[in-house]
Amino acid sequence: MQSTLLSKLHVGIIMDGNGRWATARGLTRLEGHHAGVEAIRRIIEAAPHQGIGTLTLYAFSSDNWRRPTAEVAGLMTLLRRYLANEVEMLARNGVRLSVIGRRDRLPDGLAQAIAAAEAETAGGETLALRIAIDYSARDAILHAAISLSGISHATRTDFARLVTGEPQPRDVDLVIRTSGEQRLSDFLLWESAYAELHFTERNWPDFDAQDLAVALASFHRRQRRFGGLTPHALEPAFGS
Ligand code: IPE
Ligand code: IPE
Ligand code: MG
C-alpha cells in the first residue's frame, strides 16, 4: 500500500439498514440493496476529500449466508454487477480495490470478477477500497492462528499480516455503523482494537457525504490515548 495512503485515516463502515429502508417504502429488500449501491458510490467519491486513505466496507458477512436463498442470490448478483460496472470508474479515479474474506464459497464468476477488478485497479493511489465479502473477523483471526501454529516467536505485525492479508496492515481509526444498531457483527475485530466508534440512525441507502463528514467531525473531537495519558500519544503499530 502507498505510504501516502497509510498516513491517512482508515475508516470501516458497517453498511446496515438496507432492508428496513426498503420495507419502510413498500419496496423489496433487494431494492434496498440496490439503493445501498448508490450510497457506496457517493461515499467512495467523498472519502478521499475527507482525509480517508483506506475505506473498508462490510458488504456481506459470513453469517449472511443464513438469509433466504433468494436474497443471498440477489446480493451476489448485485456484487458481480457492481464489480463489472464500476471497475473502470474506480480505476479512472485512482481507487485501488481489494476484497477481503473467503472466495471459495462465492458463486461462479464472482471470484473471477474480483480478481479482475483487483488487477485492473492495482495502480490506484487515491483511495484503498477494501470490500468485505463472505467476511468473518473471527475466521480471519482463527486462520492466522492456525497458520502460525508451532511458531513460538511471531510479532503482532507478523500476525496482523496474516489476519488482514495486507503486507502493511493499517489499524482502523473509525468504525461507522448505520441504521441505529450498536454492535460489530464480526467486523474487523483485530484491526479495530483502538478504533473510535460512530453509530448513526441513518439507514445505509440514505447515508451521504454530509453524514460521513459528521462522523469524521465527531472522530476528530475524540481524544485518542492508546492506553497512555497524553492526547497525542503515538498510535501503537501492529509491531510489539
Ligand atoms: C445491510 O442491510 C446489508 C447486508 C447485510 C447485506 P440489511 O440487509 O442488514 O438491512 P436490515 O438490517 O435488514 O435493515
Ligand atoms: C452486518 O449486518 C453485515 C453487513 C452489514 C454486511 P447484519 O445486518 O448482517 O448484522 P446483524 O445480524 O444485525 O448483527
Ligand atoms: Mg442488518
| Residue from 18, 64, 85, 139 carrying the catalytic annotation | 64
Q: How far apart are alpha carbons 73 and 88 in whole angstroms?
A: 24
Report if residue 68 sits inside a domain. yes
Report if residue 29 sits inside a domain. yes
Protein residue closest via CA to atom 9 of ligand 2: 64
Report if residue 48 sits inside a domain. yes
67 close to ligand 1 (CB < 6 Angstrom): no
185 close to ligand 1 (CB < 6 Angstrom): no
Q: Name residues whose C-beta falls within 8 Å of residue 28's C-beta, 6 or more positions apart in sequence.
A: 22
Report if residue 192 sits inside a domain. no
Can you state the angle between helices 29-46 and 209-221, rounded to 10 degrees? 60
Please tell me the distance between residue 61's alpha carbon and the centre of ligand 3 in angstroms. Answer: 10
61 close to ligand 2 (CB < 6 Angstrom): yes
Q: How far apart are alpha carbons 230 and 57 in whole angstroms?
A: 31
223 near 194, Cβ under 8 Å?
Answer: no
* Total structural domains within the chain: 1
Identify the pLDDT of residue 151: 87
Q: Is the pTM of this model over 0.85?
A: yes
Q: Per residue in 83-108, is it b (16+ CB within 10 Å) or e — as a string?
A: beebbeebbeeebbbbbbbeeeebee
Using 70 as the pLDDT threshold, list the residues of the chain that sit under it.
1-3, 231-240
Catalytic residue list contains 18: no
Identify the pLDDT of residue 240: 44
Which runs of consecutive H residues, i.e. helices, occur in the chain? 3-6, 18-24, 29-46, 69-92, 110-120, 137-148, 156-164, 209-221
79 close to ligand 2 (CB < 6 Angstrom): no
Listed residue (72, 47, 70) closest to 61, CA to CA: 72
Identify the pLDDT of residue 237: 53
Containing structural domain, residue 182: 2-186+208-220
Q: Alpha carbon of 48 to those of 52, 53, 137, 158, 185: distances in Å?
A: 5, 6, 25, 29, 26
59 close to ligand 2 (CB < 6 Angstrom): yes
Report if residue 82 sits inside a domain. yes
| Residue from 16, 134, 171, 186 carrying the catalytic annotation | 16
Please tell me the distance between residue 156's alpha carbon and the centre of ligand 3 in angstroms. Answer: 32
- The residue type found at 185 is S
60 close to ligand 1 (CB < 6 Angstrom): yes
Instruction: Return the best residue to mutate from 13, 16, 76 for the ligand 2 pocket (most ligand atoms within 8 A of CB).
Output: 16
Identify the pLDDT of residue 150: 86
Protein residue closest via CA to atom 1 of ligand 2: 185
60 close to ligand 2 (CB < 6 Angstrom): yes
Q: Alpha carbon of 231 to those of 7, 72, 104, 193, 222: distances in Å?
A: 18, 44, 44, 17, 9
- The residue type found at 205 is P
Q: Is 218 helix (H, G, I), strand (E, B) or coil?
A: helix
The CATH number covering residue 137 comes to 3.40.1180.10
- Residue with cell string 516467536: 153
Identify the pLDDT of residue 239: 47
Q: Is 39 helix (H, G, I), strand (E, B) or coil?
A: helix
Protein residue closest via CA to atom 3 of ligand 2: 61
Report if residue 198 sits inside a domain. no
Secondary-structure breakdown of the chain: helix, strand, coil percentages, each rounded to the nearest 5: 45, 15, 40
Identify the pLDDT of residue 233: 56
Report if residue 166 sits inside a domain. yes
Report if residue 73 sits inside a domain. yes
Atom nearest to 33 CA in ligand 1? 3
